[in-house]
Amino acid sequence: FRREDTPTEQVLQWGVLASSAAVSLWDFDAWDAVSARQIGLARAAGALGPLSVALQGQAMVATWCGDFVAAASLCAEDEALTEATDTRVAPYGTLLLTAYQGRPEVASTRVEAAVEASTASGEGLGVTLARWASAILHNGLGHHVEALAAARQARDARAGLFISTWALPELIEAATRTGSTDEARDGLRNFAEATAHTRAEWAMGMLARCRALVADGEAAEALHREAIDRLAPTRLRV
C-alpha cells in the first residue's frame, strides 16, 4: 500500500486496514505514509468517504508528532467534510488532539458525544478510542482516578485491539498514581506481551517507560533514561 504501483481503488478501499496493520506493528512511518497517500488519492478521485477516514488518521499522526497546528487543520477539514456529506464516523483525530491539549470542557463533551454516537451505530472502535482519549486527558490533568476508570474501559473493549493496547500505558500510569500497584503490574505484563513481536523504538520506548513507572530508585531512573533514549530519535513527541 506504500508502493506507487498499488491501484488507487485498492488504496481507497483497503488503505484503512493497511494503516491498522502498520499501527499493530508499531511502524509509525508506514502508518504516516499510508494515510498521507490515502489523502492524496482520495482528494484526486473526489472520494469523500475514504478522505474523511484518512484525514482523521493523519490528524492522529500529527498530534503524536506534537504538531497540533497541523492536526487542528486536518480536523477542521474533516469537520467541514462530514457536515457536507452527513458522514457518521467517530472523530478519532479530534478526540486525540483535544485530549492532549488538556481542554476538559471541550474534550469531555466530545468524548461523551462520540461514545453515544458510536454506541448507537455499532462502531466499537469509536467507543474504545473515546475512552482511551478520556484516559489521556485525565492523566494529563492529574485526575488519576478518572483516568484509571476510562483506561479500564478502553483496555477491556473487544473492538480495536491496538487501541486497547494503547490504553495500557495510560492504565499503568493512573494505577501507579492511585496506589493500585497490582493492577499496574498486570497492565505491564499485558503491554509486554503486546509488544513482544516488535523491536520498534516506539514500542520499546513505551515499554521502558511503563516499566519505569512500576520500578523504584535506580532501576526506575535507568528505565526512564532508556525510554528517553529510545523515543528521542523517533518523530513522536507527546
pLDDT of res. 180: 98
What is the predicted pLDDT for the residue at 85?
Answer: 86
Q: Do 177 and 192 contact (CB within 8 A), yes or no?
A: no
pLDDT (0 to 100) of residue 160: 55
- pTM for the predicted model, two decimal places: 0.94
CA dist 168 and 20 (Å) reads 18
Q: What is the pLDDT of residue 158?
A: 63
pLDDT (tens, 9 = 90+) of the chain, 238 residues, equals 988 899 999 999 999 999 999 999 999 999 999 999 999 999 999 999 899 999 999 999 999 999 999 999 999 999 999 888 887 788 999 999 999 999 899 999 999 999 999 988 888 889 999 999 999 999 999 999 999 999 999 998 765 578 999 999 999 999 999 999 999 999 999 999 999 999 999 999 999 999 999 999 999 999 999 999 999 999 999 9
The residue type found at 213 is L
Per-residue pLDDT at 86: 83
Give residue 22's pLDDT: 95
Q: What is the 3-state secondary structure (H, E, C) of 186-232?
A: HHHHHHHHHCCCCCCHHHHHHHHHHHHHCCCHHHHHHHHHHHHHHHC
Give me the pLDDT at residue 125, please: 87
Identify the pLDDT of residue 83. Answer: 87
